[in-house]
Amino acid sequence: MTRRAALVGLLADGGLHSGEVLAAELGVTRAAIAKQVQSLAAWGLAVDAIPRRGYRLATPLELLDAARIEARLAPATRARGGAIALHEQLESTNSHLLAEPAPAAGAFRACLAEYQSAGRGRRGRRWLAPYGSGLCLSFAWLYETPPADLGALSLAAGVAVLRALATQGIGGLQLKWPNDIHRGGGKLGGILSELRFEAAGPAHVVIGLGLNVHLPAGLAAAVAREGGVPPADLADAGPPSRNALAAAILDALAEVAAGFGAEGLRPYAAEWRAADVLLDRAVHVHGPAGVRDGIARGIDPHGGLRVQFGDAIESLTAGDISLRAVA
Helix runs in the chain, H state only? 3-11, 19-26, 30-39, 66-72, 75-79, 93-99, 153-167, 219-225, 242-263, 266-274
Tally of residues, the chain: 327
**Cis amide bond preceding 130, omega within 30:** no
Rounded Cα distance between 272 and 274, Å, is: 5
Rounded Cα distance between 1 and 239, Å, is: 26
The three-point CA angle 222-227-231 to 5° equals 55
R_g of the chain computed on alpha carbons = 21
Among residues 80, 120, 187, 242, the one annotated as catalytic is 187
Mode of pairing for the β-strands spanning 186-197 and 203-212: antiparallel
Q: Is 187 a catalytic residue?
A: yes
Q: Is 122 a catalytic residue?
A: yes
Task: Evaluate whether 160 touches 250 at the Cβ level (below 8 Å).
Answer: no
Q: Is 306 a catalytic residue?
A: no
Among residues 122, 125, 281, 306, the one annotated as catalytic is 122
| DSSP symbols for 21-68 | HHHHHHTS-HHHHHHHHHHGGGGT--EEEETTTEEEESS------HHH
Instruction: Give the residue numbers annotated as catalytic, written as ranges.
Output: 122, 187, 324
